[in-house]
Structure 1
Amino acid sequence: MKKLALTAILFAATATSAFAQMTPVGAWQTIDDKTSEVKSQIRITESGGVVSGRIEKLLRKDAKQDAVCDECSDDRKGKPMVGLEIIRGAKKVEGKDVWEDGKILDPENGKNYTLRLTPIEGGKKLEVRGSVLGIGRTQTWVRVQ
């Protein structure tokens, strides 16, 4: 009986851990499209079924840690890059491991894009798609362990 209970507990813990990984919530490293170098660390959080994400660290060798978002045109204009909210309003699609209906800001050009987040490879990576009228690009972010 004890063996069965222990097995059930281990299975539940493993299942919960695996389930928790298939979410965008957590810390992610962004990779530069051109250089393939680590660019920044983003922290994605969830509140009331809606995810948001902020720049937690600038990781490029030449990054200015006191940089502000000069290109932003909304409430984020002039705000420090570290701490800047770049993901807003994404919600989980019912029955899928996909989050949509949010926006993502590219602080390098100040533009907001329609957002889709899709955890892949068991939640170790995150496909981040930003688009306007269906045209855009997809980046793959790597979960910070």
Structure 2
Amino acid sequence: MYKAVAAIVLVASALPAWAQMTPEGLWRNIDDKTGEAKAEIRIRDTGAGGLLGVLEKRLSKDAKPDDVCKECTDDRKDKPVLGLEIIRGAKKADGKDVWEGGKILDPENGRNYTLRLTPIEGGKKLEVRGSIGPFGRTQTWIRIQ
């Protein structure tokens, strides 16, 4: 009896840590050049196995509530930056805690980059890598509880 209870408690206490090793959740994006917080992005599963990330809150000092994605060239052109889908289609790689194969949009320049998401530090942070060919950059986002 005690072993069964102990096993249930052990599994239940491990679930929150396991559940955090995913990009799903609310993240604060930090500019890799200035170190300033720029935005909050909510990442969720689309139900079809891919991820979708929406810009929920802008934190930049120069952000205006009515800004639109003027530089976008797809269906997001001239759409409000607030609420914009900036992550599309990343899927979990087999046997790894890495999500890849999707795209991430930089609303400042309208470019779509190949995306790789890697939860680190027990899921407290997220390495977000955007690249075009061999060139790219990585930002570290912070999970918001």
Shorter-chain TM-score bucket reads over 0.9
Aligned counterpart, 2:114: 114
Name the CA distance, whole Å, in 2 between partners of 1:107 and 1:65. Answer: 14
Name the CA distance, whole Å, in 2 between partners of 1:28 and 1:84. Answer: 15
Name the CA distance, whole Å, in 1 between partners of 2:57 and 2:9. Answer: 35
Letter in 2 for 1:61: K
Q: How many corresponding residue pairs?
A: 144
1:66 maps to 2:66: yes
Name the CA distance, whole Å, in 1 between partners of 2:136 and 2:8. Answer: 44
* Unaligned segments of structure 1, at least 5 residues: none
Name the CA distance, whole Å, in 2 between partners of 1:100 and 1:74. Answer: 21
1:12 maps to 2:11: yes
% identical aligned pairs = 67
Please report the TM-score for the alignment, with normalisation by the length of structure 1: 0.95
Please report the TM-score for the alignment, with normalisation by the length of structure 2: 0.95
Name the CA distance, whole Å, in 2 between partners of 1:13 and 1:66. Answer: 44
Name the CA distance, whole Å, in 2 between partners of 1:79 and 1:67. Answer: 8
Instruction: Show structure 1 runs of 4+ deviating over 6 A.
Output: none
Query: What RMSD, in angstroms, separates the aligned Cα atoms of the two structures?
Result: 1.1
Once the two structures are superposed, the pairs formed by residues 79-98 of structure 1 within 5 Å of their partners are 79-98=79-98
Letter in 1 for 2:50: V
Name the CA distance, whole Å, in 2 between partners of 1:50 and 1:24. Answer: 11
Is the CA contact 2:32–2:138 (under 8 Å) kept in the aligned structure 1? no
* Unaligned segments of structure 2, at least 5 residues: none
Q: Secondary structure at the match of 1:122?
A: helix
